Amino acid sequence: MQEKTVYCLHCGKELIVSIRAVSTGCPVCNHRLSVEDFTVTSLLSRTLIETCGSVAIAPSGMLRACLRVNNLFVEGDHQGNVTAAGKVTLAAGASLAGNIIAHRLEVRDGALIKGFCRIDPQLELIPKPTPTPTPTPSGPNAKRQTAK
Ligand SMILES: [Zn+2]
């Protein structure tokens, strides 16, 4: 069985899943994760697409969404900000309007980007989990437990 490595969008934990898996649960943070790879071949409009898998936009594809993905491969047209834990690839003729935050970026000759790029393999893409604040009994900022 073929497997792939994905990273939890919530805690960054490296997970090994079957390439045919659609979703999995993170053993560390217990979030349900989509690990699906999919290809956009026509117009698709979404507020946010989150997957630990890879998204490809075919030459005929037009995606309008904020993306949090592992890898993004664009041959068509994308509008929306992109956060990628892996690599963003823009093929010749690709068009991306939005800001890109990614570990790696490949832009082939003829691709178009309208936006800012922050490319850094060391970048912390996943916010470190904030330690649960332990309420101090008498502190002024102590969260009050309201019984309902
Ligand atoms: Zn996790």
pLDDT of residue 10: 82
The DSSP-derived string for 79-143 is ES-EEEEEEEEE-TT-EEES-EEEEEEEE-TT-EEES-EEE-TT---SPPPPPPP---SS-TTPP
Total-model pTM: 0.79
Say how many Å lie between the CA of residue 77 and the centre of ligand 1: 30
Query: How many A from CA of 127 to the centre of ligand 1?
Result: 11
Q: For 13-67, what is each residue's pLDDT tens digit?
A: 889 999 889 999 999 999 999 999 989 999 999 999 999 989 999 999 999 999 9
Closest CA to 6 of 18, 140, 92: 18
Dist. CA 32 → ligand 1 center (Å): 8
Contacts of 120 (CB under 8 A, 6+ apart): 103
Would you call 78 helix, strand, or coil by DSSP? strand
Please tell me the distance between residue 26's alpha carbon and the centre of ligand 1 in angstroms.
5
Angstrom distance (rounded) from CA 12 to CA 127: 9
* Maximal C-alpha separation, the chain: 62
CA atoms within 13 A on the CB side of 40: 24
